[in-house]
Chains A and B, each alone.
Chain A
Amino acid sequence: MRNKKHRLRTWAKCLLAAALAGVVAAQAGILASAEKLIDKYSILFEGEAVAYESDPGYAEVLSSWEEAGYKRAAGVPDIVLPAADYAAFEGETPVTQTQDGVAGLLYDTETDYVEWTFTVPETGLYQMQIKYYAIGGTGLPIQRAAMLDGEKPYAETDVLVLPRFYVDAADTVINSVGDEVGALQEEVREWTTRAVGDMAGRYSEPLLWKLEAGTHTLRLSYVDQPVLLSEIRFTAPAEIPSYAEVETEYEQQGYQPAAGTIAFQAEDREHIVHKSDSTVSSYNDGDPMTVPKGTAHRRLNAMGGYSWRTGNQEITYRFTVEKAGLYSIAFRAQQTWNEGSSSYRQIRIDGEVPFQELLEYAFPSDSNWYTRPLEDPQGNPYRFYLSEGEHTLTLSVKISQYVTQAYNKAQTVIDGLSEAYRKILMITSASPDPNYDYDLDKSVPNLLGTFQGLADEIKEISDLVVQASSSRASVVNNLKMVEQQLREMVEDPDVIPKRLDDMVNSLTVLGNFLTDVQVSPLGIDSIELVPTGGEFTVRESSVWSRIWGTLENFAASFRKDYNRVGMTVSDQTVTETIDVWISRGTEWAEILKGLIDSEFTGKNGIGVNLNVLPSNSLMGGTVNAMLLAITSGTAPDVALSVSVDTPVEYAIRGVSLDLTQFPDYAEVSKRFLENSLIPFRYSGGVFALPETINFNVMLYRKDILSNLNLPLPQTWDQVFYQTLPVLYQNNMQMAAPTFDLLLYQMGGAYYTEDGLRTALDQPEAYAAFEQYISLFLDLGYPITSNFYNRFRTGEMPIGIVDYTAYMQILTAAPELAGKWDLELVPGIRKEDGTIDRSTTGLTGLADIILSQTDKEEECWEFLKWWTSAEIQQSFGVQVEGKIGASARWNSANIEAFQSLPWDQQHLAKIVDSFEWATAVPSVLGGVITTRAISNATNDALYNDFSPREALEKAILTINKELERKQDMYNIQPSESKGAGR
């Protein structure tokens, strides 16, 4: 008995010991595996949070200086900084170069910044003048950023612009259709001294810099374009008298009205000294009284118009005065674009503003042309004393000070409203429970006070806009609506959760307001200088003459061939002519034709008949004109801007030409990214050249992410474990990537190497598809969402976008300026530590040669010329100038792409993304693939298929179709050489 007990106790002790040992071991084991877990997951949590600081604006800083008692410097000598006497620099050493007898410092892209030190004798507010010579570069304005003593005085110093100057290279020509065609622009270069102003033209005087007595450092950092700098000066600001003072001067000097009228056409090449932007051009106006008359046929009879609308764009005219004396200046002008708002211009005579009132002179809006002299608000024409000889007259686009104030206020209102919206969203979520009392006025600190303040600000904005307008601008109504909504929300806070959509709407309205007030177009037909007291020639068209003009146009429409873009080269110089169809709007076609006539036909005698073709959309029974033309044997020789799968579809059927047959193909193909040619490869040949390319990048809101203390995700794991949870806690979301992106990043592909079967049956593809579906079903990504709107309100502070969406945010969301940035898309970390950031959809539109042509050599010459860097760049600049920044040309020619006016930092990232960008190959029967994937997604999301099942179904469909097509065309596995991945 004792033995048994003893044995039991021993057993118990052993078991206890074992258990204890086990517990200890387990702890150690847990610690060990926990460490491994930490190792694994710590990699997810690295990175610093996004930093965001907003710099104060010039208006704010200037008023703070004035309040502090700083005065404009007066009566002091200029502080001269010779450019060659720099104190420090970063990057490549800037060298000295002499141009036209003046020595200058060559400041090119390799030099990051240059610094100068200088001494200031007297404290005050100074202006900065730069003497520079525009050299080389890619035809864009020269931009530098400035810092004083290592600090940015105000946000506008981020981009200081030194413009280039342009003139028409030749006279205009009448083309074969009877229309007048403008000449190309060429740059004129000479040493220019310019006082530096803000880049948007919002402040009519050059920027002021606060300089205390003592030593200072000025740093100019490179932003864009090389330049020769001779010297930088800080000068006392030019004191401009008021008109009353000028008049007293006239009295004292005893000036008399002159004799003899000077009149000239605003578009007259003889009288234009230069323009500060190559895109400011003459245009055709159909008013019958415009000289020369341009009704039935197009005549470039007016200058500027909508192309002359952004701040600081200026035109300088020259004229000769026979007899000295007092003159008044009249313009026959038109401002029909901004309804109700006036367009402002700064008027300078001989480079200087004669009096204060001309710093910003208002040209009111009117539905017709009007002839008015420069006059004071009472209607008395201003008088200018002009001595005998040649003078210049400069008109420069400025934004009225009222509008500028309204603009600045609107920015703060948008900021305030967005923030309020996000705070409310954090509490109510985007779909608030309609039956719950949120008591937002209590849960969001000072919400009602904020709204009240915002409503008052908006009232002030409306008042400012009214002051700047000639009549009730329609934009004021929109502002009043926003103000009304805010006041209603203050009165009845319970209504706020139901009004979330209205708040989003208000943000859009305000955002649009910002875009709208930045344009200030004005068209001028003629300028006349008349001795004061004299009569101006007024050419007002009557209703009848306008009706007659319309009838003339209508009659002409029966004779004119509008599809045919007219030739300007006479037929004698042309040896061969090729037919080119372009699938874009007429603006693009006209610019192309202009280039063709001067640079292509003019140089090698190959004529081009350019026709505009509607893009081949197939929805609801519209006609595919290209296909039908080929069927009927009337196909063109070259087709431009066709969709990306067309070349191979045509190649399969022998209709498009293999470009590798040309001996210099290899060289030409180097102009493009290797991967952008993938969709054009078939059976060993390449059947098109890419015209445009696309890119995928990640956009993020700096201000929101820094508020949330989030770093930028580099991998998808970081997105899922780090970014998404924080976003969801704050009721925000992220936009989903495409399936393509996940597929390629996970190492999958659509087709096998030979392009005969789908490669979606591989494990990588299954994994990618499952991941893709789980984005929506498990991770809460919205299936459809308008990224543009949600990025603006901040509901989606981060997302992956393509070129189109990027341009949208860039050009149509001005209130976000400075608040967002670009980054490479998140990727998948591979075993060797690198991150695979593959994206697809690289190739945009294509250019092909149809095999029906009998002029293959000429067609190839044309394609080579069209895709060359020089022509692509010129085309891109002109398109952007004519249509606006939203039409930025995403050329497939990489050299040209980089030379277009992208933001340099964004451009660097975009070019980085090209390392990973690729395109899906086109295979025989490939039309089915997108469809099958879309159906599979549909099945998995709505019809309760598991992702595996859905993908299996898609694989079967795709393979069946591919086989069928291969059967139809008798393709054997050994013959086909696909494009690979």
Chain B
Amino acid sequence: MKTSTIKAPATKASSPKKSWIKRWIQKYGMGSLFFMPFFILFVLFTIVPVLIGMAMSFTNYDMLMTPKFIGLDNYKNLFIFDENFAKALQNTFIIGGIAGPVGYLASFLFAWIINNMKMKKLFTVIFYAPSIAGSGMVVIWDYLFSGDRYGFINNLLINAGLIQSPIIWNADTDFIVPINILILVWGSMGTGFLVFMAGLQNLDPQLSESGRIDGIRNVFQELWFITLPQVKPQLLYGAINTIVVSLGVFPSFGGFPSPNYVAHTLAAHIQDYGFLRFEMGYASAVSMVLFFLSFGLGQVVIRLLSEREEKPVRKRRARG
């Protein structure tokens, strides 16, 4: 007896390429309509600018005259001659490296604490508000940290007898970086924080119950063994967010550019060259460096935080 093989549904007689497209449309057509708006905007306003930036980094575009192709000159200047770039890189890592993880941990910690409290919504709003108000608060920070002896913090310290003469916060290079880190951490309870809150509210109570039965003694053990593994996707999102924001951090205190470039981050460097010194081509080159840095670090984090358990298993089987 002949066994009938189950054939694929009959397709129209056409070249393989077309049918592949048609198949794709049938399978994904409806879905793509849903993400098309976002996708178009994303391509137009994120992908395309990155590509244009890449192109511009090989020219000497100054925003006003036609650009001329100069090959790798910008990158050469960048890595060999520009002492401020090294400083900017260093500052970015310091400021971003401290403010980023600190902000990240603080976000998670506060999300976790608030999750276990009453009046969650009120506290969520209180902690989320600074990140939205961020740019408007520059005035407040300048006022608090004014270098005048009658400036707010100076006056408190002088009256308390801790210092004798006023500290010029926004000019003395020792203080500018810590203040910037402080401001960043204060404003870092942003979307990451909200995402953590959401993730923590969706925990499976069964797991914590069974954990308690199995001998978990205190809250911290519960946090480490039960809660954290469940919120890995949220942690991943928060981490990527933090990395991108930290690397692109812009110093909001201390003037622009800060004295002796002490708080000059990569973003500030780009802004400086692009808009103040009319060297958009060079600025594009710097932004390319920033881009690849963020991308690279992002990949590292993904490897760290995505579900790893399956891979070793698969590998063994393949070899075995």
Residues of A participating in the B interface, judged by any CB pair closer than 8 Å: 430-431, 434-435, 498, 501, 504, 618-621, 624, 627, 630-631, 649-650, 653-655, 782-786, 789, 925, 927, 931, 934-935, 938-939, 941-943, 968
Contact = CB atoms under 8 A, between A and B. Distances in A.
A925 B65 CA distance: 16
Contacts of A943: 173, 260
B252 A620 contact: yes
Contacts of B276: 618, 927
Contact of B148 (A434, A655, A784, A938): A784
Contacts of A434: 159, 161
Interface string B131-149: 0000100100000001111
B138 A627 contact: no
B64 A650 contact: yes
Contacts of B277: 925, 927
Given A434-B159, A785-B148, A942 B65 contact: no
Given A653-B65, A784-B147, A942 B171 contact: yes
B271 interface: yes
B259 interface: yes
A427 B161 CA distance: 18
A942 B150 CA distance: 20
Nearest to A622: B135
A504 B256 contact: no
B146 A784 contact: yes
25 contacts: A430-B149, A431-B165, A434-B159, A504-B150, A618-B275, A620-B138, A624-B275, A631-B63, A649-B278, A650-B64, A653-B62, A653-B63, A653-B65, A653-B278, A654-B65, A785-B149, A786-B150, A927-B277, A934-B259, A938-B173, A939-B260, A942-B168, A942-B171, A942-B172, A942-B174
B158 A620 contact: no
B250 interface: yes
A498 B160 CA distance: 10
Contacts of A618: 256, 271, 275-276
Given A784-B148, A942-B172, 12 more contacts: A431-B165, A501-B150, A618-B271, A619-B138, A620-B138, A631-B64, A649-B278, A783-B171, A931-B257, A935-B259, A935-B260, A968-B62
Contacts of B250: 620-621
Contacts of B149: 430-431, 782, 785
B256 to A, nearest CB: 6
A931 B258 CA distance: 9
A789 B259 contact: no
Contacts of B148: 784-786
B64 A630 contact: yes
A431 B158 contact: yes
A261 to B, nearest CB: 53
Contacts of A498: 159
Nearest to A928: B277
B233 interface: no
Contacts of A785: 148-149
A619 B259 contact: no
A968 B61 CA distance: 11
Nearest to B84: A957
B227 interface: no
Contacts of A938: 171, 173, 259-260
Given A501-B150, A650-B64, A784-B146, A619 B173 contact: no
Contacts of A649: 278
A633 to B, nearest CB: 11
B173 A654 contact: no
B64 to A, nearest CB: 4
Nearest to A936: B260
A56 B23 CA distance: 99
Interface in B68-118: none
B60 interface: yes
Interface string B236-252: 00000000000000101
A473 to B, nearest CB: 27
B173 A942 contact: yes
A99 to B, nearest CB: 56
Interface of B: 60, 62-65, 135, 138, 146-150, 155, 158-159, 161, 164-166, 168, 171-174, 250, 252, 256-257, 259-261, 271, 275-279
Nearest to A939: B260
A210 B313 CA distance: 111
A650 B63 CA distance: 10
Q: Which of B146, B158, B165, B275 has the most CB of A within 10 A?
A: B275
A498 B174 CA distance: 29
A712 to B, nearest CB: 26
Contacts of A430: 149
A482 to B, nearest CB: 18
Contacts of A786: 148, 150
A201 to B, nearest CB: 35
Q: Which of B135, B138, B259, B261 has the most CB of A within 10 A?
A: B259
B157 to A, nearest CB: 11
Contacts of A619: 138, 256
A778 to B, nearest CB: 15
Contacts of A934: 259
A968 B250 CA distance: 28
Nearest to B61: A631
A682 to B, nearest CB: 14
B7 to A, nearest CB: 58
A630 B64 CA distance: 7
A931 B250 CA distance: 18
A424 B128 CA distance: 47
Contact of B63 (A621, A627, A941, A942): A627
Contacts of A942: 168, 171-174
A654 B259 contact: no
A630 B168 CA distance: 39
A798 B276 CA distance: 36
Contacts of A935: 259-261
Contact of A655 (B64, B165, B166): B64
9 closest A-B pairs by CB: A784-B147, A653-B64, A938-B259, A935-B260, A655-B64, A942-B172, A784-B148, A786-B148, A434-B161
A853 to B, nearest CB: 15
Contacts of A783: 147, 168, 171
Q: Which of A621, A649, A941 has the most CB of B within 10 A?
A: A621
A968 B60 CA distance: 9
Contacts of A653: 62-65, 278
A431 B147 CA distance: 15
A624 B276 CA distance: 10
A654 B64 contact: yes
A655 B278 CA distance: 13
Contacts of A504: 150
B173 A620 contact: no
Contacts of B271: 618, 621
A7 B165 CA distance: 68
A957 to B, nearest CB: 10
Q: Which of A431, A650, A927 has the most CB of B within 10 A?
A: A431
B259 to A, nearest CB: 4
A537 B250 CA distance: 61
Nearest to B267: A621
A131 B250 CA distance: 67
A653 B279 CA distance: 12
A927 B261 CA distance: 15
A498 B166 CA distance: 17
Contact of A784 (B65, B159, B166): B166
A627 B279 CA distance: 13
A938 B263 CA distance: 14
B4 to A, nearest CB: 66
Nearest to A943: B173
Contacts of B158: 431
A934 B62 CA distance: 26
A700 B161 CA distance: 32
A621 B252 CA distance: 10
Nearest to A628: B63
Q: Which of A650, A653, A931 has the most CB of B within 10 A?
A: A931
